[in-house]
Structure 1
Amino acid sequence: MPPTDHHGSFLNRISIRRNQITNMDVNHEQELEELELFQKHVTDRFMQLLQQNQTQETTETRAQAQSQLLSISWFQKLLDTYLCCESEFKAVLIINRDASCFSKAPLDRLLPDHLDRTVKALDICNAITHGIELVRHWSRLAQIAVDALEQRPIVEGHVRRAKRALNTLLTSMMVDEKENSQLVGKSAERMWSIGRRGAAGPTTVNHNQKFMTRSFSTCVSKSWSASKQIQAMSTNLVAPRGGEPTGLALPVYIMSSILVFVMWTLVAAVPSPERAGLGAHFQLPRNLTWAHPVIGLQDKIGEEWKKKEKKGTAGLLVEIQVIEKVASSLVEFADGFEFPVGDEKADEVAGQVAELADICRKMEDGLGPLQLQVRELFHRMVRSRAEVLDVMDQVGKINTSVLY
């Protein structure tokens, strides 16, 4: 080959290599930008939830501020926040991504761990839907008492009817959570379980299929513990080190962390089997910017949990706390009832009945949509897992193909 031809060929190879490096640099910069944007959005969304509560604390009493933090409406916003983060995470993880990176360290370890946490979260969603159904039952009992005590004049028959309903309500709040869960389990299963009709997506996922089996469960077993489930989800949840934060390891860690936080919060608020020691299970590193608002919320909820856990509680949901407080007071009134009721006592009881009626309305309006959100969360996690498993399965087939 003449020298000029050799020289031209060499320059062509250098030019191609430079173009490849430039494209790699552009892709790397784009990836860093996407990851930074994802972290910023997670930070902003959870900061919004935290700042909303802090604003309430400066303008209202602490009890009212706590009501804002743990009310049904707040949990609706929390689930909306998580679903937004989950959609963006899936886009960062899959769209325009070289799937071969899923089989390389550290994703080959982190992704299966994250998918396993998702399976555990599906069990928690099942338990939470049963718990919400139980809370709706409590609301109906409270409404019976409201209807009876709104009658004028209040006579002994009205008081007896209200007392029976309120005693049933308070007894249900105090009994073992597993018994309550079994009580409402059948109706909740009929309404919310996805059954075995294949909502989980692709079924041919070879060795990854074991991660999908429990996602079809319609209810939790008698030995199931919400507290142990949260503990299992937080196992091996470690922040990336070294060069990993610049890659996909960081968004996987972020998504796993906020998944555990959301499940932990739901378990603390809604009646679930075996929640003892819940406050000690989950900690986030305080040196990460995106984690600051999550830790702020966690600290506030953790304080409330530790106070309520010592006394025993049916859940931190504000509406539950109000029903329990007002119901106890009205039972005391019923125990000492004498006809006719004095004007002062009648006004006091009327105020308590009005408060209970207001909470019943809020629960009637809010619990159905909240249950639907938990159901949407369940199905979203099933679909997302199926999509990730499908990509991992394709990578596995490529890696095991015969080379000629």
Structure 2
Amino acid sequence: MRATDNQGSFLNRISIRRNQVVSMDNNHEQELEDIELFQKHVGDRFADLLSPAEDTSVDALLSIAWLRKILDVFLCCEAEFKAIMIMGRDPSQISKPPLDRLLHELLDRVVKTLDVCNAVSHGVDAVRHFQKLAEIAVSALEQRPIGDGQVRRAKKALNSLAVAMTLEDKDGAVGKSTERAWSFGRRGGGGGAVNKDRNPGNFRPICWNMAKGWSASKQIQAMSSNLVAPRGGETLAVPIYISSMVMVFVMWALAAAIPCQERTGLGNHFSVPRQLSWAQSMMGLQEKISEEWKKKEKKGSAGLLEEMQKMEKLAQSLTEFADNFQFPAEPERLEEVENQVAELAEICKKMEEGLVPLQQQLREVFHRVVRSRAEILDALEQGGKSSASIM
């Protein structure tokens, strides 16, 4: 990934510069140059995520592969931000107003980010449940000749899938439907088809349960409520603002794509600054995702994940076939169903291959921001002690 290459050279350059003895003027000029380069990297990375819909060579917006890319972007931006703010820097430079206040506001967003990661991780487990129910339907409808028994089994799985998706999106607590609609038994007999290849460790959320009143929508709103673009003065306020915007945007996109607890009105909580060049692609992505969210709210589907939306449409069509099935089925209809089953099987394969790495990246983001928060707090504490000793 080109962003990773840029990040490596950028971090190496900062490391070399900070180890050199340079004048205050030169150091300030280099800092401005580093911040300018950071802004360029952020703009380039989000431009790569904003690809034309007709370009079939790139990953679809809000697909599993696309979400993995945006998490890579988050990790790259986070590493570069930390390099600018604390790598080889005298802590006293960031422990004075207004930077100390801005950094504490950023650290508060980090805590809320950890909550969103928890909720999304739990949501991934729900998506995995959808996948397993769809696989049962696929297995039944792939049988030849297809008869009443296979159709009944597929219909049962498809009905459970419809119930699960509805509950995940509207119950206000992701995971309830995973318990209630597990029609084929997770804990005992009859559950072999669901449990096959299931490793509980791979899909255990970072924190299994969210608080009853927790809301993904309110969490994103709180993260963006005091987020104001700097108007000049303090140079280092710029990367703090950029890092905060990236954090809020990525968490917002994840919460929109993956079933999360209470997401009402998620599409309207924060604005991306139009006047900043690095934010143009981010703004374009926000507009696209918001449009998809409006469609979602009208039809009541369970999240914007590309694979999940396709699964939902195919499941509805196959349920209609199962409801009206009479043996023997018409050859034309059987051919149509065969194509739909093959497409659903391909979606299940993408989920099987992509959900584990996605959850691993969520864990990496979680642990990375925990470490970064500790490092920034340590730098602020050291800077405060230095200032106190001078006084």
TM-score, with length taken from structure 1: 0.82
Asked if structure 2 preserves the Cα contact closer than 8 Å seen for 1:129 and 1:188, the reply is no
Match for residue 213 of structure 2? 223
Match for residue 174 of structure 1? 166
CA distance in 1, matches of 2:378, 2:178: 36
Gaps of 5+ in 2: 1-21, 180-199
* 1:32–1:315 CA distance, 2 compared to 1 (3 A): same
How far the C-alpha of 1:69 sits from its partner, in A, is: 1.1
The 5-angstrom pairing of residues 111-126 of structure 1 reads: 111-126=103-118
Matched, 1:191 2:204: yes
How far the C-alpha of 1:189 sits from its partner, in A, is: 10
Match for residue 393 of structure 1? 381
How far the C-alpha of 1:398 sits from its partner, in A, is: 2.7
CA distance in 1, matches of 2:177, 2:381: 41
Give the residue type in structure 1 aligned to 2:336: E
Match for residue 271 of structure 1? 259
The 5-angstrom pairing of residues 47-196 of structure 1 reads: 47-50=47-50, 53-54=51-52, 56-57=53-54, 59=55, 68-175=60-167, 176-182=170-176, 191-193=204-206
CA distance in 1, matches of 2:178, 2:99: 40
Give the residue type in structure 2 aligned to 1:48: D
CA distance in 1, matches of 2:112, 2:202: 18
Aligned mate of 2:304, from 285, 295, 316? 316
Give the residue type in structure 2 aligned to 1:37: L
Asked if structure 1 preserves the Cα contact closer than 8 Å seen for 2:202 and 2:356, the reply is no
Match for residue 348 of structure 1? 336
Matched, 1:359 2:347: yes
Identical-residue share of aligned pairs (%):
59
CA distance in 1, matches of 2:202, 2:314: 31
Matched, 1:36 2:26: no
After superposition, what is the alpha-carbon deviation per residue over 1:274-301, rounded to whole angstroms, capped at 9, x for unaligned? Answer: 1111111011110000000100111111
The 3-state SS of whatever aligns with 2:94 is helix
Asked if structure 1 preserves the Cα contact closer than 8 Å seen for 2:216 and 2:263, the reply is yes
Give the residue type in structure 2 aligned to 1:41: H
Asked if structure 2 preserves the Cα contact closer than 8 Å seen for 1:149 and 1:159, the reply is yes
CA distance in 1, matches of 2:171, 2:362: 20
CA distance in 2, matches of 1:192, 1:273: 14
TM-score, with length taken from structure 2: 0.85
How far the C-alpha of 1:105 sits from its partner, in A, is: 2.1
After superposition, what is the alpha-carbon deviation per residue over 1:361-394, rounded to whole angstroms, capped at 9, x for unaligned? Answer: 0000011111111111101110110111111122
How far the C-alpha of 1:310 sits from its partner, in A, is: 2.0
Asked if structure 1 preserves the Cα contact closer than 8 Å seen for 2:122 and 2:175, the reply is yes
Give the residue type in structure 2 aligned to 1:142: A
Give the residue type in structure 2 aligned to 1:263: M
After superposition, what is the alpha-carbon deviation per residue over 1:2-59, rounded to whole angstroms, capped at 9, x for unaligned? Answer: xxxxxxxxxxxxxxxxxxxx81111111111111111111111111111xx21x42x5
CA distance in 1, matches of 2:203, 2:278: 39
The 3-state SS of whatever aligns with 2:363 is helix
Match for residue 252 of structure 1? 240
Asked if structure 2 preserves the Cα contact closer than 8 Å seen for 1:227 and 1:276, the reply is yes
How far the C-alpha of 1:221 sits from its partner, in A, is: 0.2
Asked if structure 1 preserves the Cα contact closer than 8 Å seen for 2:173 and 2:212, the reply is no
Asked if structure 1 preserves the Cα contact closer than 8 Å seen for 2:138 and 2:154, the reply is yes
- The count of corresponding residues between Structure 1 and Structure 2 is 349
* 1:373–1:242 CA distance, 2 compared to 1 (3 A): same
CA distance in 2, matches of 1:218, 1:379: 16
Higher helix fraction (1 or 2): 1
Asked if structure 1 preserves the Cα contact closer than 8 Å seen for 2:120 and 2:258, the reply is yes
Give the residue type in structure 1 aligned to 2:34: E
Match for residue 17 of structure 1? none
CA distance in 1, matches of 2:341, 2:178: 26
Greater Rg over alpha carbons, structure: 1
The 5-angstrom pairing of residues 282-321 of structure 1 reads: 282-321=270-309
Match for residue 214 of structure 1? none
Asked if structure 2 preserves the Cα contact closer than 8 Å seen for 1:123 and 1:219, the reply is no
After superposition, what is the alpha-carbon deviation per residue over 1:219-253, rounded to whole angstroms, capped at 9, x for unaligned? Answer: 32010000000000001100001323xx1100000
Asked if structure 2 preserves the Cα contact closer than 8 Å seen for 1:142 and 1:166, the reply is yes
> Where do 4+ consecutive residues of structure 1 move more than 4 Å?
182-185, 187-190
Aligned mate of 2:229, from 226, 239, 253? 239
How far the C-alpha of 1:256 sits from its partner, in A, is: 0.1
Give the residue type in structure 1 aligned to 2:277: T
CA distance in 1, matches of 2:203, 2:60: 32
CA distance in 2, matches of 1:295, 1:24: 36
Asked if structure 2 preserves the Cα contact closer than 8 Å seen for 1:279 and 1:305, the reply is yes
CA distance in 2, matches of 1:99, 1:190: 39
Give the residue type in structure 1 aligned to 2:104: P
RMSD: 2.1
Give the residue type in structure 2 aligned to 1:255: S
Asked if structure 2 preserves the Cα contact closer than 8 Å seen for 1:233 and 1:260, the reply is yes
